[in-house]
Amino acid sequence: MIISYHGHSCFKLKGRRGTVVTDPYEAYVGFNLPNLSADIVTVSHQHKDHNAVAKVKGTEANPKPFLIDCPGEYEVGGISVFGERVYHDASQGSERGENTVFTILLDDVRVCHLGDLGHALTETLIEKIGVVDVLFVPVGGSFTINPEQAVAVIRAIDPSIVIPMHYKTPEHDQKVFGDLKTLADFTKEFGLEPTPVPKLTVEKDRLPEEMELVILNQV
């Protein structure tokens, strides 16, 4: 599987059985989504910086991407997706509503996208999510968990690979996202500052023995 990062909370997972795009966004974030195609699009919640489904094209196998935007169990072309309901805030959704954590099984690799998670995970939720090989975790705070909370969630899930998302960059609209923490804020809290890479190739039989933090350049 090849993982590429396209800004904010949007990733593309390209595997042997197909392609998944997570949380495509409108230009409202401050920059434009690149041209992407996918067999499946997952949407963690219905905010315009996460649900720009119309901007993602289909593939030869699936001219229109299959949309998954709520909890449940799905299988599309040999790709399995499991969604668990959580909240966008620490008040049972009373402030920002619900959010779905998606675990995607592609090429035998389990990838978990936390969306705009706004609270700590219970033991029950951690058990439901199960084993995680690659974790996409929001780290910017304000709308989601902050760097300190993100580190606690990472430790609780204990993935093989951690990839941060949803943090402030100079390209973001500062009027909307100016209060987000930066990637540097998170890496300081995590205690590592790896060199960013343009993409990541993940194979089930070559996962790191110790948890690894990977920073992906936005492409």
Domains of the chain: 2-213 (3.60.15.10)
pLDDT of residue 98: 87
Strands (E), 16-151: 18-22, 36-37, 40-42, 56-57, 66-68, 72-76, 79-87, 98-106, 109-113, 134-138
The residues, ordered by sequence, that sit 6+ positions from 122 with a Cβ below 8 Å of its Cβ are none
Residue 189 near residue 140, CB atoms below 8 Å: no
Give the chain's residues under pLDDT 70.
Answer: 94, 97
pLDDT of residue 205: 95
Q: How many CA atoms lie within 13 A of 130 on its CB side?
A: 12
pLDDT of residue 192: 93
Which sign, positive or negative, has the C-alpha torsion 105, 167, 71, 28? negative
pLDDT of residue 153: 97
